Amino acid sequence: MAKILIRNEWQESLSRRSRPVTNPSTLEKIDEVPEGNAEDVDHAVRAAREAQINWKMVTGLEKADLLHHVARKIREDRREIAKLLTLEAGKPLIESLDCVEWVAACFDYYAEIGRHERGSSLPPVGRHQVNFTIKEPYGVVACIVPFNFPLLLMSWKVAPAIAAGNCVVIKPPEVAPLSTLRLAKSFEDLPPGVINIVTGSGEEAGEALVRHPDVNMIAFTGSNNIGKRIMRLAADHIKKINLELGGIDPLIVFEDADLDVAVPGTAWARFLNAGQVCTSSKRIYVVEKVADEFIHRLVEHTKTLRVGNPIDPETDIGPMISEEQLKRVERQVAEGIKQGGKLLYGGKRVPGQNGWFYLPTVITDVQPDNLLFTEEVFGPVAAIARVKDAEEAIRLANDSPYGLGASIYTKSLETAMKAMEEIKAGSFWINDPLSDNDAGPFGGMRQSGLGRELGTEGLDAFRETKHVHLDYMMEKKDYWFPYKDRPIH
């Protein structure tokens, strides 16, 4: 049985149950991990709580050295971690290698900005007084991570959380926990208890983490339904929450777009990681003037994409994570076609493949009320609508309760700025969809979440501000009691 990281030591889980981890390319079991329960969670939280007493006092320079050390260790094991990520999650190996590097870079980034500042000086309201703020850690942070980017989205939470002085308990996704456990070797030189991992289901281990009275903050990436449940449970203890939830992100191809760029860029923005990306372009709007040419080119480009064994360096698209996810996408595609969508390519499992492989799919003539535009389709399905002009494209892009990201292709600065100002989205990409920047905040508007990850905002998400008022001369104030001695003006 796989082991669980508690207090930076590899120990058998307190739970005797286990759950298998399946390779989505072959459907074979590749390992098993403990089915963590409330007792395991309590053990991990107590370890984190105890460690945080000292960790919050570690100097910024020492903390920076430790985070840089973590980044170096991750890079040393990059290929082994990446291969395991590909085996359990189905990502093409090249994507997994990129992902591990991004994880290391995130720890390097927060190593630096974590020691940059801890507050600010304020102008006082009286003589011989000093006012300033200090930013303090919350304490113990629960980091609950989804299956689509289990390492990257873990690092976006863990690196700033520990840089801010918190200690963490990670719950990796139940279907893809192995790469997190392997990457945990990079944490072994941190003080015991700073980072803890509990494997298991969301219903048991995840719920126990959210409910635990000694967990001060919950950082979660996942579905809106689970995010809403976390909000309700957190309310019982007024816990701080940071939520990155779903999105049905728009991508607009304006009439002046260079289709030699926009076509492959759109394909990548929709089919990356088999379409299992929160910010993938799930609603594609193409201005009528270029729609025929764009759609033709996109279909032809999609036909060239290689779907298969993700270990093969020539593979572009691997399998989906599970039979459950694949069946959901099959149902959504069937319903979307029933509601008027026109299937141009794909729309079925890959013939002759044993794993959870689904052909990259292109569907046009999608109307605003089509399920393909109103539900988040977490699979490789490009749903396209023709629009009359830029005004209609921007209006329809905003026609959603979500606001995670949005992408556009245009050469016009005026069009780009107008779309940027009017479209509600936490991230807005112009001519380069889905690119992340550790220094740039990431998060959603509307129902796509609360709070931000990455950037200085991502560090502040894990700190709370204390105002300090200091009078360095101890003297009685003339505005104290008794009021009879105070003149009224």
- The per-residue pLDDT for range 272-300, each reduced to its tens digit, is 999 999 999 999 999 999 999 999 999 99
pLDDT at 2 over 50: no
- Quick one: average pLDDT of 383-403? 98
Q: Which one-letter DSSP state was computed for residue 487?
A: P
- How far apart CA 396 and CA 283 sit, in angstroms, is 9
Determine which helix (DSSP H) or strand (DSSP E) holds 328, and give its type and residue range: helix 323-338
398: Cβ contacts below 8 Å, ≥ 6 apart: 422, 423, 424
pLDDT for res 13: 44
CB 183 within 8 A of CB 47: no
Paired strand residues for 320:
none
pLDDT at 9 over 90: no
- How far apart CA 442 and CA 468 sit, in angstroms, is 30
- How far apart CA 17 and CA 333 sit, in angstroms, is 37
72: Cβ contacts below 8 Å, ≥ 6 apart: 104
* pLDDT, tens only, 243-266: 999 999 999 999 999 999 999 999
Determine which helix (DSSP H) or strand (DSSP E) holds 270, and give its type and residue range: helix 259-271
Chain-centroid distance of CA 200 in Å reads 19
At residue 6 the predicted structure's pLDDT band, cuts being 50, 70 and 90, is: very low
- Phi and psi angles of residue 155, each rounded to the nearest 5 degrees, phi first: -65, -35
- How far apart CA 112 and CA 110 sit, in angstroms, is 5
CB 3 within 8 A of CB 13: yes
Determine which helix (DSSP H) or strand (DSSP E) holds 99, and give its type and residue range: helix 93-113
CB 456 within 8 A of CB 161: no
The percent helix, strand, coil of the chain (3-state, each to 5) is 40, 20, 40
- How far apart CA 162 and CA 326 sit, in angstroms, is 36
Closest residue by Cα to residue 153 from 443, 450, 448: 443
Q: Which one-letter DSSP state was computed for residue 275?
A: G
Closest residue by Cα to residue 442 from 462, 457, 432: 457
- Phi and psi angles of residue 283, each rounded to the nearest 5 degrees, phi first: -125, 110
Mean confidence (pLDDT) of the chain: 95
Half-sphere exposure of 415 (CA within 13 A, CB side): 21
pLDDT at 15 over 80: no
Options 88, 204, 278, 453, the catalytic residue: 278
CA angle 143-165-33, nearest 5°? 30
- In 178-233, DSSP assigns E strands to 195-197, 217-221
In this structure, the number of other CB atoms found within 10 A of the CB of residue 296 comes to: 13
Cα–Cα distance list, 364 to 344, 372, 412 (Å): 7, 10, 26
- Quick one: average pLDDT of 300-304? 98
pTM (2 d.p.): 0.95
- Phi and psi angles of residue 12, each rounded to the nearest 5 degrees, phi first: -65, 140
- How far apart CA 17 and CA 200 sit, in angstroms, is 10
**Would you call 418 helix, strand, or coil by DSSP?**
helix
Is 167 among the residues known to form the active site? no
Options 88, 174, 204, 244, the catalytic residue: 244
At residue 124 the predicted structure's pLDDT band, cuts being 50, 70 and 90, is: very high
* pLDDT, tens only, 310-344: 999 999 999 999 999 999 999 999 999 999 999 99
Is 143 among the residues known to form the active site? no
- How far apart CA 409 and CA 393 sit, in angstroms, is 12
- How far apart CA 230 and CA 221 sit, in angstroms, is 11
Percent with pLDDT over 70 in the chain:
97
